[in-house]
Amino acid sequence: MSPPRPQQPADRSATRLHFTVQALKEDLCLAEIFERARSFTRASYLRLPQHGAACGEELVGLGCAWEATFGDTGNDTGFASANAVLRAFRHSAGDTEDVRLFAYAAFDPSYAPGDDVTWNAFERRALYLPELLLMRRDAQLFAVIAHLDHASPTAMSEWLARVNDAQHPAQPPATDGACTSLDLRNEETRFTANVASVVASAGTSAPVEKIVYARRATAERSSHFKLDRVIAALNADFSGCATFALSPHPGAPTFVGATPETLVSAHHNQLQTMALAGTTRGGSPPQSPERAAAEDNLLHSAKDRHEHQVVVEMITSSLKHHGASPSYNDTPGIRRLTNVSHLETPIRAEITDTFGLLEAIDALHPTPAVCGQPRQAARQAIARDEGFDRGLYAGPIGAMSPEGEGQIFVALRCGLVHHDQALLFAGAGITADSDPHVEWAETHQKLAALQNALTAEDLP
């Protein structure tokens, strides 16, 4: 099955779509359905943690009924240009309350990867509607099927039969490997040199106040990774994070991870985002005295508090620029995860007639937590110095309804998995007070989230 041909936002086929909702009595494992289905169709998995009054959801999308791809935000062709299509979905036949569109984008959609083919299977920015959506919410499981007005809905039994007939683990047709033939021997040298350059330029007319440099690592095993087990391990270890997996077509690598960072969410006419920057050092267990001491040090670290405040100021300034009135606490709290803890400041603002979820994605991404400040100078330096295409790493990923409600996350603690190999990504925020070797060690802590899940996949 070839990948669906993208459609642009101007395409009005959305007005011809109908939606049929069907309650399911079967106790299906959605991670296993994702793993089996990616061998024959586009497949996406997303587990949303509970968010305020909004309950958590677990989603699997199969196939593609409609897709829009977009250019660079700087050319005014960002996610906000899809608003007209969302209005068309809302006027489609059938109940659209439970319809979900999947959204994702590269960290830098305008980046020219040259000979780097790592991310060739993925669009640089896309919003798409699956043909079949499976959703678990409040222990209830149901399906939403999208179909054209001249066609009957695809029967659930047919989809499940295809899933059951698929191999497990999925063994899609072989393609050029995105994780193979990568020489990472100079990764530490390049990363620490980039950090040292920022530190050396402190006190001069340096173009950036803060920058986030990333690095890569590889993992492999003797047989194909079983992604349903990887997803299960991430869900178990990072229950407060959003777990995601995206396979754009059979034979493509799968982008998978569990991120603690929400870019922006929209519920009940309110936007919520967060500043998440500043990280504990050391690998202490989450409930240990050592972790508590590390968190106390983090709260009193001038370097980390400055790094965090840069993110807060950029986010609130961007919201104000678009007419929103953000509210937040002056003092950050602690976000404790299995492997590390972060400084966190929740930020809220009211949705307006001209500034909703799609506009907020375009306005806020990339935040200084994954890019730097000033944003454009940091993005240019990353493209020049990092030495590889970040692709979807540190980009927006999530799901939303046609009504404009949903949760969009920043794709962190993640990597590309392809057959028996994986390519992992992690970064660190660099300021004038950074130590190159301390920052390199911090990336190891962040890589451990996915590395441990890939290792757990080997267990029976």
Main-chain dihedrals φ then ψ at residue 200, nearest 5 degrees? -65, -30
C-alpha angle 344-346-348 in degrees, rounded to nearest 5: 165
**Best CA proximity match to 418, nearest among 171, 135, 243:** 171
Residue type for 110, please? S
Maximum distance among all alpha carbons in the chain? 67
Show Cβ contacts of residue 379 under 8 Å, excluding neighbours closer than 6 positions: 108, 366, 371, 372
**Measured between alpha carbons, how far is residue 252 from residues 115, 127, 173, 398, 455 in Å?**
18, 18, 9, 20, 22
Residue type for 396, please? P
CA distance 14 to 65: 9
403 is catalytic: no
Residue tagged active-site, from 32, 57, 131, 210: 210
Residue tagged active-site, from 67, 209, 261, 307: 261
CA distance 412 to 71: 22
320 is catalytic: no
**Measured between alpha carbons, how far is residue 69 from residues 29, 357, 406, 409 in Å?**
30, 17, 19, 19
Chain Cα centroid distance, residue 315 = 18
Q: Please, what's the b/e burial string for 202-227 (b: 16 or more CB within 10 A of its CB; e: otherwise)?
A: eeeeeebbbbbbbbbbebeeeebbbb
CA distance 152 to 155: 9
Point out the residues that are catalytic.
Answer: 210, 261
